[in-house]
Structure 1
Amino acid sequence: MSRRLFAAIALVTATSALLVGCSTTSGGDAATPSATASATATPTMATGPTGAITVFAAASLTGSFTTLGKQFEAANPGTTVTFSFGGSSSLATQITEGAPADVFASASVKNMDAVVAAAAAGAPATFAKNAMEIAVPPSNPAHIAGLSDLAKAGVKVALCQPEVPCGAVAAKVLTAAGVTLTPVTLEADVKATLTKVQLGEVDAGIVYVTDVLAAGDKVTGVKIPADVNASTSYPIATLTASKNPALAKAFADYVLSADGASVLTATGFQKP
């Protein structure tokens, strides 16, 4: 092979190697920014609602909702649930008059319907039921054994006000049993009625089963026969004026969940 031909072949080989090297380097440089961007990108994490809400709830829900509120806050860090407990009729009036709140849990469909009719709440869902029971002081000084004993002379009975769910349901029970009585006091909600019994200011009060259970040994319960007993349904709804509708919905959903039902049944409520 001539020296001239050998030199030409060597030149071509060197040029090809140089071109391949440049191509590889260029490819590596192009990949580097993409890899860097992928490594430094901040992932988007889904987070639940945060902030605070106020829940207006029937007085008979005090124990169960206090527990549910604590559980909800523990499961949703960064949230605060504040409760305002009272008679459902009073709470409904406050809501329709513009009181700031995010969720309403009523002991009566009637009171919830009034709030919905005023366009102050969304569609409600029923989460529990509750029946009635006679509560007497532990010593049962008037020897109350049934509804008919409440009408005996000298027996002092406390009832809820008739516009409050516990008062309306108690009236149904007394009517079904054919018992007529004149209470010595009409209280604003079921907790106030129960307090009269606990303090010994009355001989008996008609309250919810859940309230007798929650009172423990502070009162004694006298069962009401199923054929004359009555119950009330508990609906819950988010309020249209809520400043934190996402959190309000999350709490309402929690009450309606299996975890919520577990707490409610443990405190004496019936499933809807």
Structure 2
Amino acid sequence: MARRAAALLAAILLAALLAALLAGCAGSGAGGGASDNTGQGNSRGTLTVFAAASLKASFTELAERFEKENPGTVVTLSFAGSSDLATQVSQGAPADVFASADTSNMARLQDAGLVDGQPRDFATNTLAIAVPAGNPAGIGSFADLARSGTKLVMCARQVPCGAAAAAVEQQTGTDLSPVSEENSVADVLGKVSSGEADAGLVYVTDLRASVGKVESVPFPESAAAVNTYPIATLAGSRNKTAAAKFLELVAGPEGGEVLAAAGFGPVGSR
């Protein structure tokens, strides 16, 4: 009887010890180290950034810097027209950060409750006329874009660069008749550089990045439609710690230097 009691007691103690060990392991897994993508004090893991097409060169450089400064973090970049990106986010596309080429598309996501906190304005951009090398159509002003027979390509009106062009049209009383409307400045630039168009309306930053492929024709009326670029963490982000750090990089002095080198203008004090 005594032996049975002792064996039973030993079994109970062993079971209790195993239970305690298992509980300890579970506790360390849940709270001993933050998950890579939860954003709870740890910026490791994947950071998905949706950004306007005009930001491609600058954000590619900033993403590389961010990865070096934050070992264990991989930045995935997706570039397109701001309106297309906002639609993708609205439809549930997974992303952590959204950088728009205008404030209206950011406002769309804010109104839908898809933005976490307040967006930060980090850059400005203005339009310029892109023409093929040699400027065969002799485009010299904004008014020249309305000449009969001129093959003009511009962004669709719902895209920030298209909205800016429409603002200049209204300000100057000019009636433009593009032969094609594209979803991003990259598409407009492609048609101009390939010779499919006599001219296109793009951002000054796109022209700076395309030296040798196209020529730039600045026009003073562009001052009537300066685009402001906001950036924000999205409400559905799974890595809000990394997202917050990326916003600080973009909107801070280091980001300002990279953006200025690409031709972007500043927004107030950084």
Report the TM-score, using the length of structure 2 for normalisation: 0.81
SS at match of 2:227: strand
Instruction: Pick closer, same or farther for the CA change 1:54–1:156 going to 2, 3 Å.
Output: same
For residues 51-99 of structure 1, give each alpha carbon's deviation from its aligned partner in whole angstroms, at most 9, with x where no partner exists. 1111000011011101111111111111110111011111111111110
1:72 paired to 2:66: yes
Residue 125 of structure 2 is aligned with which of 120, 126, 130?
130
1:88 paired to 2:88: no
Q: Give the number of the structure whose alpha-carbon radius of gyration is greater.
A: 1
Identity of aligned residues (%): 49
Instruction: Pick closer, same or farther for the CA change 1:51–1:227 going to 2, 3 Å.
Output: closer
Letter aligned with residue 157 of structure 1:
L
1:176 paired to 2:178: no
Per the alignment, residue 10 of structure 2 pairs with none
Residue 206 of structure 2 is aligned with which of 187, 204, 211?
211
| Distance across 1 between alignment mates of 2:125 and 2:49 | 20
1:111 paired to 2:111: no
Instruction: Pick closer, same or farther for the CA change 1:97–1:109 going to 2, 3 Å.
Output: same
- Give aligned pairs, total: 226
SS at match of 2:236: coil
Per the alignment, residue 142 of structure 2 pairs with 147
Bigger Cα displacement from structure 2, 136-145 vs 167-176:
167-176
Shift of 1:177: 2.3
- Structure 2 unmatched runs, 5+: 1-40
| Distance across 2 between alignment mates of 1:271 and 1:185 | 31
Residues 1-272 of structure 1 aligned to structure 2 (within 5 Å): 49-122=43-116, 123-226=118-221, 229-272=224-267
| Distance across 2 between alignment mates of 1:81 and 1:190 | 23
Letter aligned with residue 211 of structure 1:
D
Shift of 1:242: 0.8
Per the alignment, residue 37 of structure 2 pairs with none
8 Å Cα contact 2:168-2:221 kept in structure 1: no
Letter aligned with residue 63 of structure 1:
A
8 Å Cα contact 1:176-1:228 kept in structure 2: no
Letter aligned with residue 204 of structure 2:
V
| Distance across 1 between alignment mates of 2:68 and 2:221 | 39
- Structure 1 unmatched runs, 5+: 1-46
| Distance across 1 between alignment mates of 2:176 and 2:108 | 30
| Distance across 1 between alignment mates of 2:142 and 2:234 | 39
| Distance across 1 between alignment mates of 2:101 and 2:114 | 17
Instruction: Pick closer, same or farther for the CA change 1:98–1:234 going to 2, 3 Å.
Output: same
RMSD: 1.3
SS at match of 1:202: coil
